[in-house]
Amino acid sequence: MEMKLYSHADAASIREMVLDLHDAVYGEEGDTFHSRERFGEFYDHWSSKDEWSCAVSFTDGTPVGFAYGSPFGPGGWWKGSERPAAVGPDDTVFGFSELLVMQEARKTGLSGRLHDAVVTSRGNDVATLLVDTAHPKVQALYESWGYAKADEQKPFDDSPIFAVLVKRLRG
């Protein structure tokens, strides 16, 4: 497997590849929240941030997974959730927005490598992410990486309920 790192400057050039990967996993679900159009909106929002970073993994030249996110602005936090007391007002926070691995590349450690390539390279104090509460195995995976649940939220009318997870990276 080969992994490539991308920045905000690369976002437009890899957009269709990332959306195609998303479709390969969620295309059959049929709900609006996981639609290509809706995911494209989220991708465009996150990738428009100057400090956005994305890691894509390839097997024999074919993309098999990606992860991306960006630091929040000073004092920033997830819409619809209060900043946990354990995350200080001066802490820099990395919002880990997406992690997706194709079925054939799961259970290989790729998820952790993609996560680390994006999150640990930033130098932030804290990482945070949202995980669908209907997927307890995914939440347990993040918890095995040192994340702890801080809250639950439903940020959009069409979204699932998410657990807000937090991990201290330094300090």
Residues 6+ apart with CB under 8 A from 27: 36
CATH number at residue 130: 3.40.630.30
> What's the number of domains the chain is made of?
1
- Torsion angle of alpha carbons 6, 83, 165, 78, nearest 10°? -50
pTM of the model: 0.93
- Which residue range(s) make up the domain with 102? 2-168
Q: pLDDT (tens digit, 9 = 90+) per residue, 94-152? A: 999 999 999 999 999 999 999 999 998 789 999 999 999 999 999 999 999 999 999 99
